[in-house]
Amino acid sequence: MNFSLRRIKKIVELIEQEGESVDKLASNLQQSSCSEMGSSIPMKESYGVEGQQARLDFIESQRALSLDALRGQKVFTELDSLKGNIEHYIGMTQVPTGIIGPLKVKGIYASGDYYLPLATTEGALVASYHRGVKACSISGGVTSVFMAEGVQRSPLFKFKNIPQAGKFAIWVAEQLEQLKKITSESSRYAQLQNMDTKIQGNEVILTFEYSTGDAAGQNMVTICTQAICEFLLLAAPVKPVHWYIESNYSGDKKANAVAFSRVRGKKVTAEVVVPEAIVNQILRSTPQKMANYWQSSTVAVLQSSSIGAQGHFANGLAALFLACGQDVACVSEAAVGITRMEVNQAGDLYASVTVPNLIIGTVGGGTFLPTQAECLKIMDCYGSGNSRKFAEICAAMLLGGELSIAAALSSGHFTHAHQQFGRKKS
């Protein structure tokens, strides 16, 4: 089965697991007509204690949560729990955290209005993303659809010559079911989905693709791959001269064309139609100006040999990852994607993003830390069963960010926004 057909069938299976038919889901995902936003975040006193407390009170009441850690009332003292997160611990680094929303999302897993915490020291970022998600929500919301998932590890085996490499590759191809069994014995959550083989002279690269449940999964797939490789070294009819657990082909923490064209982590696509009046009033631009800017900027980014074509995925992802206990270094691969904008027949703005490399988790890693756990809970994304929802929310947020920056650049108020919000006043 080719890659595309396999992925499509997997998406249909996921939909059916949620108790939906494809036709019913397609109807549910249709963007609503323009609507009022959900309850608005209190905007007074961005930098005052009274404003901070008002926003915390608001989120607590909206989500029925206690945010003692974000308030600074809960001090972290469980240092033993940091094993697996940090070595040579000396203390916590504090990063300011803001809130945006509500963002209306219609997805397979995410459905409703969400408030998103963003941790950053870059002035104008929170304001920009808030403006973009406001335009999306008033327009009826973002349709955001989880499409695929897979985390890879790519060990390399070197042999004396090509015939030995070929013999090993042929033998390994016949062991897939055994390798799946080894994976299930090595992890409660990982499942080996696929294996790809590349022969380069006397070297063989095996790429193992796993599903990792609700964890980001890099450590999980490394442990499973180690167990598989130990079996291969013991049982293979020809032994390698040497081998490495990672060949540097999998794309771990680096932008790469293979993951861009397929998936690494979770792949999501999202879209919105923003009526011309909302583009004018909220984004302070026009659909045609934004579509023109998108076209010119896409040609320019291609000339720079960038992988993908988008405005500033890294800004939103880094801020959300910091707030929610994700591996922030994965922004280097997660920020690869595609943004599209065009004017539809009604004169409104159609926009979409596709994000193929979201390495995220709602369990494990830093998700248990006090403020990070609270931030995930604000979005109802903490714990098992929530990683796909989190992925759909991430993509919807990125779409809002792309709208805001394209509006600012297309209408000439980008610099003024950074002068107003992004500079320290002496």
6-25: average pLDDT: 64
Whether 122 is catalytic is yes
What is the model's pTM?
Answer: 0.93
Amino acid, res. 34: C
200 pLDDT higher than 90:
yes
Distance CA 358, CA 149 (A): 9
Question: Per-residue pLDDT tens for 254-272?
Answer: 999 988 999 999 999 999 9
Share of the chain above pLDDT 70, in %: 90
Q: What is the mean pLDDT of the chain?
A: 92
113-127: average pLDDT: 96
**pLDDT at res. 39:** 81
Set 113, 196, 246, 327: catalytic member = 327
Q: Could you write out the DSSP letters of every residue in 247-316?
A: -S-S-TTS--HHHHHS-SEEEEEEEEEE-HHHHHHTSSS-HHHHHHHHHHHHHHHHHTT-SSB-S-HHHH
97 SS3 class:
strand
233-250: average pLDDT: 97
Higher pLDDT, 13 or 280: 280
Distance CA 203, CA 205 (A): 7
**pLDDT at res. 4:** 61
CATH of 31-74+91-148+264-421, one of 3.40.605.10, 3.90.770.10, 3.40.50.10380, 3.30.230.10: 3.90.770.10
Q: Which two tokens stand for residue 314?
A: 């890294």
Map out the domains of the chain as residue ranges. Answer: 31-74+91-148+264-421, 155-244
For 262, what's the count of Cα atoms within 13 Å in the CB-facing half-sphere?
19
Share of the chain above pLDDT 90, in %: 84
The CATH class of the 155-244 domain is alpha beta
- Of the pLDDT bands very low, low, confident and very high (cuts 50, 70, 90), residue 2 is very low
List of E strands, 120-168 = 142-153, 156-158
Whether 418 is catalytic is yes
How many other C-beta atoms are found inside a 10 Å radius of the C-beta of residue 161?
Answer: 9
Set 20, 68, 113, 122: catalytic member = 122
Whether 113 is catalytic is no
Q: How far is CA 205 from CA 165, 202, 228, 229, 349, in A?
A: 10, 10, 14, 12, 45
Query: Would you put residue 376 in left (φ > 0), alpha (ψ -120 to 50) or beta?
Result: alpha
Distance CA 165, CA 235 (A): 15
Per-residue exposure over 353-373, b if at least 16 CB sit within 10 Å of its own CB, e if not:
bbbbbbbbbbbbbbbbbbbbb
Chain position carrying tokens 């406001």:
134
273-289: average pLDDT: 98
Q: Which of 187, 120, 198, 194 is nearest to 150 (CA)?
A: 194
Q: Which two tokens stand for residue 177?
A: 């079911």
Backbone angles phi, psi at 252, to 5 degrees: -60, 115
Q: Do domains 31-74+91-148+264-421 and 155-244 have the same CATH topology?
A: no
What DSSP element (H or E) covers 374?
Answer: helix 370-378
- Of the pLDDT bands very low, low, confident and very high (cuts 50, 70, 90), residue 21 is low
Among 70-84, 187-201, 356-370, 383-397, where is mean pLDDT lowest? 70-84
